[in-house]
Amino acid sequence: MQQTTKSAAICVVGAGHVGLVTGACLADMGHRVACVDVDGEKIALLQQGRLPIYEPDLQPLLEKGAASGSLRFTTSYEEALEGVEFIFIAVNTPSTPEGAADLRHVRDAARCIGQALKGGRPIVVNKSTVPVGTSETVDHILSAENSATEGLPVVSNPEFLREGTAVHDFFHPDRVVLGCRDPEAAARVAALYRPLNSPILITDVKTAEMIKYASNAFLATKISFINEIASICEGVGADVTQVALGMGWDRRIGPDFLRAGLGYGGSCLPQDVRALSHMAYIYVSHRQLLNAVMQINVDQRRRLVRRLREVLGTMEDKPIAVLGLSFKPDTDDIRDAPALDFIRLLEYEGAHVRVYDPQAADQARAELPDIAYCTDPYEAAQGCLALIIATEWDEFRSLDLARLKECMAKPVLADGRNVLDPTTVRQHGFTYLGVGRPEQVQPPIILEPGQREA
Ligand code: UDX
């Protein structure tokens, strides 16, 4: 295997979440990176040193890259491609109405590269999630556009970055996956990642693409599985948080992605499960497995609304507070956010919704124009008959419950992410609704090896 590559000239196509994190982190590793995007406004913002997205730890990398000249932004493909050795394609692939991945942006990117590349033999690295078997699309377009891009090596490099921890994830990957027909090209891309000290798996292209879909669909399945267990726990009177604890200590299961709640959202998990279910349909496999995962996911929101209806009666004209809008904490991303879906259900019930989110309010305004946006949890709770935690921002773990109760017309707290201690909330006089938690929670006793029972 080749050694590390110290300072390469790299073009990153797409200044979205994945493109920006990839570009800024590669620049931090000592490479010379040009990020190109067709969105002039976004590029102008980045040229002023401002991020169009919220991602912890990214701003310092942006500033460092700009100061050293190792990270540039442009709308010109010609400029970005001059003298490059690697071209990373990191554009989004939204869902079509049938649930398949829409390749329009990937095709456009390949076409623009084909038209603008003047010479050299750069390696094209595809980070965008494309349906298994369609990766040759990039190959074909590059070959059709221009003799300079004919037969360029294309490496598939699925990304596993999580929003909110994307910079950390880039520098500490569990693994790097590369798919390529040409072992020499794969080795050159592997050399870029060698300083990260993670295992690198090189496979054929289709296998690499499938690893991405299978990983995300498995994570979604884990979440829907625990949510289904939560729903059974509500029936039998068990506590899902302790069930997850006991399951997670089994090394074959693992503790991650076993948090029951309002379900998964974001730009990847919902879209990838839909796309894999579509692939299962095309290849006559069992799409009902992933369809159940999706159904359980949306039902999580409907089930909490039904439980609120049982406690409050009709919600017509009643003020209800919701804390959290983003699809998870530490991001302002509201794409496919469970909170938004939940709020729409409350609106359908006739409730007047008052929300607070530390980051995502501006993003949500266009999608939810008829709700009241508040500047803190207590303002949101003012005069409300119930308050729901829809996203587990850290600040919601330390709510001043006494103050919250003072603000509310009726003390009903629905903890859609199981972040609060039910006993404490009840001691403050609230009716508490968790996800998969019994009326009386018996705290777990954990004895470490060698420790005696008290
Ligand atoms: C995901 C994958 O983790 C990442 O590898 C891939 O590259 C992109 O998609 P991301 O969308 O940033 O990353 O979010 P993630 O942290 O995976 O969470 C996804 C959703 O699942 C969130 O809505 C989160 O709230 C929810 N979730 C997660 C649960 O409901 N329960 C859990 O136990 C874990």
The string of pLDDT tens digits covering residues 168-206 is 999 999 999 999 999 999 999 999 999 999 999 999 999
Look at residues 164, 233, 166, 163 and name the one whose alpha carbon lies nearest to residue 418. Answer: 233
Q: Judge whether 411 lies within some domain.
A: yes
Which atom of ligand 1 is nearest to 331's Cα?
12
Within a 13 Å sphere around the CA of 61, how many CA atoms are in the beta-carbon half? Answer: 23
The catalytic residue among 233, 268, 384, 407 is 268
Which tokens belong to 265?
């959202």
Unique residue bearing structure tokens 């590369």: 178
Q: Are residues 172 and 252 in the same domain?
A: no
Domain with residue 365: its CATH number is 3.40.50.720
- Domain assignment present for residue 103? The answer is yes
Atom 14 (ligand 1) nearest CA: 162
What is the secondary structure of 58-110 as a DSSP string? HHHHHHHHHHHT-EEEES-HHHHHTT-SEEEE----PBPTTSPBP-HHHHHHH
Q: Per-residue pLDDT tens for 30-59?
A: 999 999 999 999 999 999 999 998 898 999
Residues 226 and 102 in one domain: no
Ligand 1 atom, smallest distance to 220 CA? 21
Which protein residue has the closest C-alpha to ligand 1 atom 28?
Answer: 257
**Does residue 269 have its Cβ closer than 6 Å to ligand 1?**
yes
Regarding whether 194 and 246 lie in a shared domain, the answer is no
Alpha-carbon distance of 89 to 287, in angstroms, equals 30
Tell whether 208 is covered by a domain: no
CA–CA separation, 206 and 131 (whole Å): 9
Q: Which ligand 1 atom is nearest residue 216's CA?
A: 2
Q: Is the overall model pTM greater than 0.85, yes or no?
A: yes
Residues 196, 261, single domain; the answer is no
> What's the pLDDT tens digit per position in 214-237?
999 999 999 999 999 999 999 999
Of 178, 203, 228, which residue sits at a domain end? Answer: 203
Q: Give me ligand 1 centre to Cα 270, in Å.
A: 10
Q: Which domain holds residue 116?
A: 9-203
In a domain, 232, yes or no: yes
Ligand 1 pocket check for 220: Cβ under 6 Å = no
Same domain, 162 and 232: no
Question: Do residues 157 and 178 touch, judged by C-beta distance below 8 A?
Answer: yes
Q: Which residue has the higher pLDDT, 98 or 240?
A: 240
**Among candidate residues 203, 238, 259, the one where a domain is terminated:** 203
Q: From atom 32 of ligand 1, which residue's Cα is the shortest distance away?
A: 257
DSSP state of 453: P
Q: What are the helix (H) ranges across 88-194?
A: 104-116, 136-145, 166-171, 183-193
233 falls within a domain:
yes
Quick check: is 374 catalytic?
Answer: no
Last residue of a domain, one of 182, 203, 224: 203
Cα–Cα distance measured from residue 411 to residue 428, given in angstroms and rounded to the nearest whole number = 9
123 in the same domain as 61: yes
Domain assignment of residue 304, yes or no:
yes
Q: What is the 3-state composition of the chain as percent helix, strand, coil, each rounded to the nearest 5?
A: 45, 15, 45
Residue 327 domain-assigned?
A: yes
Tokens of residue 79, six digits: 């400029």
Closest CA to 233 of 250, 257, 211, 258: 258
Mean pLDDT of 333-361: 97
Q: How many domains does the chain have?
A: 2
pLDDT category of residue 454 using cuts at 50, 70 and 90: low
In-domain check, residue 445? no
- List C-alpha distances in Å: 209 to 129, 157, 179: 7, 8, 8
Give nearest CA residue, ligand 1 atom 16. 162
| Residue 3, pLDDT score | 65
**Run of H or E including 422:** helix 422-427
Determine whether the shortest distance from the Cβ of 264 to ligand 1 is under 6 A: yes
Task: Kindly state whether residues 114 and 245 are assigned to the same domain.
Answer: no
Cα(268) to ligand 1 centroid in Å equals 8
Q: Are residues 133 and 278 in the same domain?
A: no
- pLDDT of 2 above 70: no
Is there a single domain that holds both residue 197 and residue 251?
Answer: no
The reply to whether 333 and 427 lie within a common domain is yes
Are 411 and 274 contained in the same domain?
yes
Cβ atoms of residues 65 and 71 within 8 Å: yes
Residues 234 and 199 in one domain: no
